[in-house]
């Protein structure tokens, strides 16, 4: 899918497991659907194509995504909310809605956030661009919002090691945390490249020749901490299920093991309590052809739950 930005530049984001996630919702005519992670608008656009009478409630923390996508969806009955999906109840109150037929969560970063057409995001998500250390999903920050700059310049060594290991599953977390502490004594850590250099010095040479970039896990961990992504996911799943109609379905696409673990546990709990049934007993993965055309889909996992 290609969506034009305000400046006429095209979105580079490719929606992963698009057909599987939408077909899994098992929608009928005149559905009400929540696109909890609007992103590039891929799911919303495809749902509209298949169900022209749909009402879509789109949610995203990044207010810029709507500006880049609204032209494509001008004929669709869609309402965009610049919010975190953990605030779903508030969004539904604003819409005067009590329930909906389906909800989609497509977690993680979009390609546009990592590297939009004009270059970097400006928020420090990518270790390949030299940008300010923000890593916030929100484009416009409030005074109390935590940034990656706050994390690396003020959090304790133990907290840094714990989040880098816990959220990034980084085996050299202690060495990296120590390197951050030693660097900030000398001067402020301001940019992504400042952080990359610290990680590069902290890890062994052989690690730098590994399959994934040596900064990947640390950047992931700090981003998750900054945005409280796992806490938001647990809350969003709970609220999404609460307002889902009986017979309605929830499709959740995850990109790393920590997210998938939370989703898997939540789905199994609901099944055990007799409130839901699993639509796919085994996790749905991207096809070989999709992985070939979009390597990012390699780590994607789709789970679908029906409320009963």
Percent of the chain scoring above 70 in pLDDT: 92
Query: Is the per-residue pLDDT at 90 higher than 70?
Result: yes
> Is 125 a known ligand-binding residue?
no
As a whole number, mean pLDDT of residues 116-121 equals 54
Beta strand spans in the chain (E): 32-35, 55-60, 77-82, 100-106, 244-254, 276-278, 284-285, 301-307
The domain ranges of the chain are: 18-112+229-307, 121-227
Q: At 125, list the tokens.
A: 């998500």
Least trusted range by pLDDT, from 32-36, 62-66, 161-165, 258-262: 62-66
The helix (run of H) or strand (run of E) holding residue 47 is helix 42-50
Beta-bridge partner residues of 10: 4
Q: Distance between CA atoms of 98 and 89, rounded to whole angstroms?
A: 9
Please indicate if the annotation marks 42 as binding a ligand: yes
At 67 the pLDDT is 85
Specify the pLDDT at position 120.
57
The predicted model gives 156-169 an average pLDDT of 97
Has 106 been labeled as part of a binding site?
yes
Range 153-173 average pLDDT: 98
- Whether 5 shows a pLDDT value over 70: the answer reads no
Is 85 known to sit in a ligand binding site? yes
Rounded to an integer, what distance in angstroms lies between the CA atom of residue 161 and that of residue 154? 13
Does residue 234 have a pLDDT over 90? yes
Give mean pLDDT, residues 269-286: 96
Please state the rounded mean pLDDT for residues 192-209.
97
Residue 59 predicted with pLDDT over 90: yes
The annotation status of 113 as a binding-site residue, yes or no, is yes
For residues 255-262, average pLDDT = 95
Give the CATH fold of the 121-227 domain. Answer: DNA polymerase; domain 1 (1.10.150)
Region of poorest pLDDT, from 120-134, 151-165, 199-213, 266-280? 120-134
Residue 10: phi and psi, rounded to 5, are -90, 145
Work out the pLDDT band at 118, boundaries 50, 70, 90: very low
Average pLDDT, stretch 286-304? 93
What CATH fold (topology level) applies to the domain 18-112+229-307? Rossmann fold (3.40.50)
Taking a C-beta distance cutoff of 8 angstroms, is the pair 22, 50 a contact?
yes
Contact present, 10 and 79 (Cβ < 8 Å) = no
Neighbouring residues of 294: CB distance < 8 A, sequence distance ≥ 6:
14, 16, 286
Return the pLDDT at 192. 97
13 pLDDT higher than 90: no
The pLDDT value given to residue 111: 57
Long-range CB pairs of 271-274, under 8 A, 24+ apart, other chains included = 271/305, 274/308
Residue 145 marked as a ligand binder: no
Q: Which tokens in the block code for residue 84?
A: 């975190």
């Amino acid at each position: 899918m290609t969506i034009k930005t305000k400046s006429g530049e095209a979105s580079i984001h490719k929606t992963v497991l698009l057909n599987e996630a939408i077909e899994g919702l098992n929608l009928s005519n005149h559905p009400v659907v929540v696109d909890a992670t609007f992103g590039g608008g891929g799911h919303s656009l495809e749902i509209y194509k298949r169900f022209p009478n749909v009402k879509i409630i789109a949610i995203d923390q990044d207010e810029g995504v709507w500006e880049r996508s609204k032209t494509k969806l001008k004929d669709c009955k869609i309402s965009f909310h610049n919010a975190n999906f953990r605030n779903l109840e508030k969004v539904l109150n604003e819409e005067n809605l009590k329930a909906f037929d389906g909800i989609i969560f497509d977690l993680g970063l979009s390609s546009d956030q990592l590297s939009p057409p004009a270059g970097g995001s400006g928020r420090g998500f990518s270790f390949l661009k030299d940008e300010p250390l923000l890593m916030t999903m929100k484009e416009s920050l409030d005074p109390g919002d935590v940034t990656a700059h706050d994390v690396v310049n003020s959090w304790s060594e133990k907290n840094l090691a714990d989040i880098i290991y816990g959220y990034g599953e980084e085996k050299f977390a202690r060495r990296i945390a120590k390197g951050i502490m030693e660097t900030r004594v000398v001067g402020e850590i301001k940019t992504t490249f400042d952080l990359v250099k610290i990680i590069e010095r902290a890890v062994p040479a052989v690690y730098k020749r590994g399959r994934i970039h040596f900064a990947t896990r640390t950047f992931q961990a700090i981003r998750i901490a900054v945005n409280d992504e796992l806490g938001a996911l647990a809350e969003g799943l709970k609220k999404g299920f609460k307002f889902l109609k009986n017979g309605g379905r929830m499709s959740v696409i995850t990109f790393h093991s920590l997210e998938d673990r939370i989703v898997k546990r939540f789905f199994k709990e609901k099944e055990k309590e007799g409130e839901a049934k699993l639509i796919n007993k085994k996790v749905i993965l991207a096809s070989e052809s999709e992985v070939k055309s979009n390597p990012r889909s390699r780590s994607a996992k789709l789970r679908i739950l029906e409320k009963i």
